Chains A and B, each alone.
Chain A
Amino acid sequence: MSKIHLGCAVRRGVSTASIAAALAVWWPASAQSPVDLTKWSPEYVRSIAGTQEFDTAADCGKVTPLNYRGRVSFWYQGAFEGDPDLLRQYYRDFFATFRKTYPNIQLEDQALTYNDLLDKFRTALLGTAGPMVVRLQILGGVEFASKGYLQELKPEDIGYTAQDFWPGAMKSNMWKGKTYGIPTNNETMALIWNADLFKRAGLDPDKPPATWDDVVRYSKQIKEKTGIAGYGLVARKNAGNTPYRFMPQLWAYGGGVFDEASASPNYAQIQLNTAASKRALQASYDMYVRDKSVPVSALTNQQADNQPLFLAGQLAMMISHPSDYDVMLDLKKKATGSDAQTAQNVIDNMRYGLIPTGPDGKRAVVFGGSNMHILKPEYVDGGKVDQPAAKALVCFWTSPEWSLKMAYAGSNPGNLNGFKTKWMKERLENIKFLDVTTAMLPYGIPFPTIPETPEIMNIIVPDMLQNALTGTMSVDQAAEDAARKIRNVMSGGKL
């Protein structure tokens, strides 16, 4: 129960008003939601925590009776490498509680890694052997909705309302005006830094870089003064981590793949080769090639590769989930001898801050999270979907209680009511850096909700980074090449 001093820093650094102002742009009509999004601030979040009780069994019992006899099959992204032990425990608790609450529903669940889930799910659908219910990361759902694999599913179908969820999250579940899923949790990343390394490099240990240009500058200074890599750039292809860390940079400079950063995007015009986007790419180039202040291994690194580096005090800054703090604690348990000493030092000096802004003060982060979907029966293994059982499961996971618990360490409840539960109060008291996570939520931008997004984000954008960073193409050429590839993809069919 250590005092969370960063919350004070955030409060000092970011005024409530500015958050509210940002929110007004994003969500003008948030008057009817259970929480007042216009008032969003760490104080507000603290004030509503613990103010309402929820009985999950009773609520979901209204959707599907508790003695209902049936069967439901379910695939989801489990807790794996890079996730803290705490999360693993909550996953176990969820399934145990669901089975206890609905003893006559036979639940067949299967956990897969982030990268495997999409692969396996797509393959299963081709063979019409999918599960009844699936929980996919937010990037994935629209592809399957557009192909017609998913049933229509609105919050009202499981006893909630659309206002119970983040508007941006609901947007990610819509295709051609209809809703196909329910958000389970939403998260945004933050900037993590090692205060000790900042101090050794002559920087203010408690002040994160304010802009991305500052990131480049800090990185260079840290490398020159301490010989240690500054920013943990991630540029590996075919890994989900890369777009999550590059897109905030791209949006902050005023660029984007399309117009996804605007209030009502229509994804019509490609913007990856605008001057603003090229500036963002240039920043990465400057760090990797010009200053050499980031690990050379960035081209083959995933975030999981950055974690041990950070813990060993060999990396000063990185962008990641709040749960990385817990990951550090878990990794430290495995360290021995002097490594354990170093690790403890790093953990003591670990700080979280808001993601830097662009040169114009624009701050952005990928609105991440997951949604649950129910498939159409003809694509399910066995040809049938047990609707009541499926709805019971969806209701359970997206309930205030569980959407919070399953997002305990690294994410936030998709169901806004979750912020009002007593467990939220617990979280605020127990979890370090939680304030930062919640404070970043208003800046979240979901990926373009088009079926081509996975290909664009996982392949074309990292490709662009790699082309520029290896010098195979100039920054200009890389951006133009990426824009051309996206044009090909959008026009249907070409590589």
Chain B
Amino acid sequence: MTIRPTEVPARATARPAGVFRRAWIHRADYLYVLPAIVVMLIVIAYPVYYTIELSFYNTPPSLQLRDKIFVGFDNYAIILGSDVFWQVTLNTFIWTIVSTGCAYILGLGCALCLHRAFPGRAVMRAILIIPWVISAVAAAYIWKWIYHSNFGVIGALLVELGFAGRPPNFIDSVNSVLPSLIVVNVWREFPFAMIMLAAGLQTVPDQLLRAAKVDGAGAWHSFWHVTFPHLRGVSIATILLLAVANFNSFIVTWIMTGGGPANASHIWITHIYEIAFGRQRWGIAAAYSVILFLIVMSLGYFYVRGLGGAEKEGGAS
């Protein structure tokens, strides 16, 4: 009688672990992530939720907040129907786009200038960073006095040198207030762009520049065909950071003009602040914030998608 080995039925393939099994295996990982998630829920998720909820209520000054009245989408209608909102929206877009663009270009120019060594370069670098490191509040106050319509330094110089009969009106005129504030904002921000781009410039491959030189590219063509495309990744990141900062830029406008004159320098963020804290209209301010949130998130989404595309193309190789 032959002894046959007992046949063990072979499993065709090992069964893949189910979701719960995998989660259990990784239970320690969840614990590590837990504190961060809790903080995010408290600091971000809950306030966002509460703001959205509040946006559907009316909060008159004669009632406590907890006695607010439900009004559905009325707050949104009020905002979208008010002329001031559209003017402030226009201001905000002008503010953000022009500030970001100018800060980027100025930063790029300075980074390029500081790229090659010359005597005193380190000193120049230090001086150029000063606007960024100065306290924003201090800078705003100083610029307010520089721009002063009667006794500002700029006005005084122009009059002394005979270029103008009277000091120019920078921040007390509805037409020139926004450009004047943009100048201050760009002055504050360009060192950031300069530093980011200077770092990027260090990584431009030397051989590529030499190849371009041999190919006959002069300074401009070298920049345009070699340096600038190489800076694409850094540029996109810098512009994104600048744009976000500018959308939310509060200090310069609030301190220098408080949004005036006649709402000419109000941007979204200062206008919301005024409605919430100056006028106690929490419901309307919440609705306003939600509208802004949606607009900025969609802009951000498309921007980051473009950024992702750039990364796939190896823009910063």
Asked if A and B form a direct contact in the complex, defined as CB atoms under 8 angstroms apart, the reply is yes
Interface residues of A (CB under 8 A from B): 119, 122, 126, 143, 146-149, 229, 235-239, 295-300, 309, 314, 450-452, 454-455, 458-459, 463, 466-467, 469-472, 492-495
A451 and B261 form a contact (CB under 8 A):
no
28 sampled A-B residue pairs with Cβ under 8 A = A122-B280, A146-B61, A146-B62, A147-B61, A237-B274, A238-B259, A238-B274, A296-B172, A298-B172, A299-B172, A299-B261, A314-B150, A454-B61, A454-B280, A455-B278, A459-B279, A463-B262, A466-B261, A466-B262, A470-B261, A470-B264, A471-B174, A472-B174, A493-B69, A493-B71, A495-B78, A495-B84, A495-B279
Instruction: Contacts A126-B65, A229-B150, A296-B169 given; indicate if A493 touches B58 (C-beta within 8 A).
Output: yes
List residues of chain B with CB within 8 A of the CB of A238: 258-259, 274, 278
A146 to B280, CA, bound (A): 14
Closest Cβ neighbor of B168 among chain A residues: A296
A455 and B78 form a contact (CB under 8 A):
no
List residues of chain B with CB within 8 A of the CB of A147: 61-64
| A149 touches which of B58, B64, B74 (Cβ 8 Å) | B64
Instruction: Contacts A300-B261, A452-B61 given; indicate if A309 touches B151 (C-beta within 8 A).
Output: yes
B258 and A236 form a contact (CB under 8 A):
yes
List residues of chain B with CB within 8 A of the CB of A149: 64
The count of chain B contact residues (Cβ–Cβ below 8 Å) is: 43
A240 to B289, CA, bound (A): 26
User: Using a CB-CB cutoff of 8 Å, which residues 123-175 of chain B contact chain A?
Assistant: 144, 148-151, 167, 169, 171-174
List residues of chain B with CB within 8 A of the CB of A119: 277
Interface residues of B (CB under 8 A from A): 58, 60-65, 69, 71, 74, 78-79, 82, 84, 144, 148-151, 167, 169, 171-174, 256-264, 274-275, 277-281, 283-284
- Within the complex, what minimum Cβ distance (angstroms) separates B255 from chain A? 10
Of all A-B residue pairs in the complex, the 9 with the closest CB atoms, nearest first, are A296-B149, A493-B58, A299-B261, A451-B61, A466-B262, A297-B149, A472-B262, A451-B62, A299-B172
A148 to B259, CA, bound (A): 32
A237 to B58, CA, bound (A): 24
A452 to B279, CA, bound (A): 9
Closest Cβ neighbor of A238 among chain B residues: B258
| B82 touches which of A122, A451, A463, A495 (Cβ 8 Å) | A495
Instruction: Contacts A296-B149, A492-B58, A492-B60 given; indicate if A237 touches B65 (C-beta within 8 A).
Output: no
List residues of chain B with CB within 8 A of the CB of A236: 258, 260
List residues of chain A with CB within 8 A of the CB of B169: 296
- Within the complex, what minimum Cβ distance (angstroms) separates B216 from chain A? 55
B151 and A459 form a contact (CB under 8 A):
no
